Amino acid sequence: MPRRRCAADDGTVRVMTPGLTLKTYEEGERNAMSDAMEIMGRAFDPAFGEAWTLPQLAGVMTMPGTWLTIARIDAAPVGFALVRSVLDECELLLLAVSPLWRGRGIGEALLLDSLRTARRRGITSMNLEVRASNTAIRLYEKAGFEYVHRRPGYYRGNDGQLHDALSFRIDMLR
């Protein structure tokens, strides 16, 4: 089956929000991690318990091949992407946009920037896993990610309810 072309292949990002800047950090830069924690607190529904703690984020940031990209509007943090790579594969661990800034192309800009950064590093595929009800699935599919499989009951909400996880992958080879 032919692979769909990666949406970031042409190197363009539609910026719908004036003043949007993206900056990538490869080490545990404290201000960047604080920005990510602030965004997580607003972006992730506490009912699902998906937000990480600062020690979790700091621990991942010490791993080789990990990068954190912060999206800012006029210097204020509004979104972030966290990616970890091993050899020629990587995983999008977290992608979040503050609720007040959703629908303005920030998530798309972060995702496409993550794909371009991965390609520049010689990475040939990116994986991600998401709760089956997550509205960002449309964004991932639009970017060229393909559904791989479902993990029934993988996530447990704070209320004890189980939620399926969906795995997606994009191959970035042309």
Q: Which residues are catalytic?
A: 129, 140
> In angstroms, how far is CA 17 from the centroid of its own chain?
19
Tokens of 32: 């960047």
Distance CA 50, CA 156 (A): 10
Distance CA 82, CA 43 (A): 14
C-alpha gyration radius of the chain: 15
Residues 70/78, Cβ–Cβ less than 8 Å: no
A 10 A CB-CB count for 141 gives 15
φ, ψ at 61 (rounded to 5°): -65, -15
Altogether, the residues listed in the chain come to a count of: 174
